[in-house]
Structure 1
Amino acid sequence: MRHLYRCPLRWSDMDAYGHVNNVVFLRYLEEARIDFLFRPEKDFQQGSVVVRHEIDYKRQLVHRHHPVDIELWITEIRAASFTVAFEVKDDDLVYVRASTVVVPYDFEAGRPRRITAEEREFLRSYRDEADEEAAAA
C-alpha cells in the first residue's frame, strides 16, 4: 500500500526559470512524510530525525495552481530505522524519485530509540509488494 499526499505548489517554490526549485523538493518530501507519520494514533508523535536523503531528479516541475501528488511507501524496516521511498508525480509522469532514512527519536532522553511493535506493524502495512518480491529474489 502507498500513502498519497496532495502537495500544494507555491509561487515561492519557483526558481528564476519558472520551475520548482530542486531544493524545494526536500520540503515537499518533508510535508508528505509528516502527513504520513504524525497521526494522533501513532507513536511517531514522540519524534523522528532524518539521517539520509537521496533524490533523483527526473524532469522539471513547472509551477501551476493545482497540487502535485506524492506517493510514499516503506522499503526497509530495521531495529531503529526505516526507509521511506517517494515519487513526486502526476499520473504516470514522474518528476522526482527519492528515499529517506528515518530514525525514531526520544527527545526527552536525547537519543534514538528502537521501533515499537505497533510502529513496525504500521510501517509493514505500507511495504510495497514489488519491493517485497525484489527482496525475495
Structure 2
Amino acid sequence: MARFGYEAALRWSDMDVYGHVNNARFLTLYEEARVALMFTEARKQGLTSLEEGVVIARHEVDYLRPVDYGDTVRIEMWIDELRPSRFVVAYELFDDGVVASRAKSVCVPYDLTAARPRRLSPGERAFFEPYLARP
C-alpha cells in the first residue's frame, strides 16, 4: 500500500487562544490533503470525475498531542476501505515527525446534477487501488 503525502502550511488563523492549532482546523488541513489527492493527483493521472462530486458522510478524529504554530505539518493518507458507493480515507498528521492526530473520513461519490449518491467508476477504483490498505 502506498501513502499519499501532503505538506500543509499552518496559518496564523489556525491558532487558538492557547497557541495551538484549533481542533476544528484539523479538519481543514485534512480536507486540503484530500483535495490534493482526489483533484490534483487524480488529474495528473487523467482522472477528473472525482471533481464532479464527493460528499463527506462522516469524520472521526483522534487528537494525540497539541500542534504548535510552525511552518508546515505533514499529512499522510491512504484508503482504508473501498466499497462500490463509498470509500474511507484514513490520515495521520505529523508535527516535527511525530504523529499528532489520526482521522478517517467516509466519502461518498455524489452526482450533483441528480442530487444523489452514485457508484465509483472503474477508473476511480483503479486510481484508489494503490492506496488501499490490505488486511
Query: Structure 2 unaligned runs (5+)?
Result: none
1:7, 1:105 → 2: CA distance? Answer: 26
Output one character per residue of 1:74-131: Cα deviation in whole Å (capped at 9) or x when no partner.
0100010000000000364011000000001110111110000110011111113xxx
Q: How many residues align?
A: 129
* 1:24 alignment partner in structure 2: 25
Distance 1:101 1:93 in 2: 25
* Local SS of the residue matching 2:23: coil
CA distance in 1 between partners of 2:95 and 2:15 (Å):
18
Which residue of structure 2 lines up, in the alignment, with residue 123 of structure 1?
128
1:102 aligns with 2:107: yes
Task: Give the aligned partner of residue 47 of structure 1.
Answer: 53
Q: Deviation above 3 Å: which 4+ runs of structure 1?
A: none
Residue identity (%):
47
Please point out which of 90, 95, 98 is paired with 1:85. 90
Q: TM-score, normalised by structure 2?
A: 0.92
Shift of 1:47: 1.1
Partner of 2:69: 63
* Counterpart code for 1:85: A
User: For residue 47 of structure 1, what is the amino acid of its counterpart?
Assistant: G
- What SS class does the counterpart of residue 7 from structure 1 fall into? strand
TM-score normalised to structure 1 length: 0.90
Opposite residue 117 of structure 1, the aligned amino acid is P
1:54 positional shift: 0.3
| SS class of match (2:30) | helix
What's the secondary structure of 2:88's corresponding residue?
A: strand
